Structure 1
Amino acid sequence: MFLFISGAEIFIILVIVVMLFGADKLPELARGLGKGMQQLKSATNEVKKEITESAKKQGIDASLTSDIQKDIKKIKTKVQDNIDDMTGPIKRNL
């Protein structure tokens, strides 16, 4: 399931797209969409790069967020393990 859409719904959407644009225009539309997504991704990467470079110039530690994310992931796995330990016997009985 992709974004809460079933296979039948995706099929209906594809049929409507083919009816609206025609089969000959679909590759052209897909190429344009791909190029747009690539430009968006490169622009996002450039912004990230500029932010980290300016942070380094100002003496700001840019690795702080990654350290926080690592700590959050560790805590999340510990909590998930505790929940699994507590619900394990319950799940087996069902």
Structure 2
Amino acid sequence: MACHRIEELLELLEPVWQKDQELNLVQMLQKVAEQAGFDGPLSELTDDMLIYQLKMGDTSKDTMIPGIKKDYVDDFDWKGAILKARGIDDE
């Protein structure tokens, strides 16, 4: 795991951990994993799953993932975009 991923994980974990300060690191990771619906061994838990759960855990299920939301365009014209990319449509 790259250094920036560790820093991001710790930054996201800090406010959640402040709520349950009596838990140790492994217990906190287990709690976040359970909230994400992960029931396997902690050795198989990915940093992506932890980061996603910590970012999106308190949002509604209909909330768009931030990484997708930044690129989302309402009513995007796929056909027009493909034609334009092929040089067929010069809008």
Query: TM-score normalised to the size of structure 2?
Result: 0.28
Relative contact order: is structure 1 or structure 2 higher (C-alpha 8 Å, sep ≥ 6)? 2
Query: TM-score normalised to the size of structure 1?
Result: 0.28
More helix by share: 1
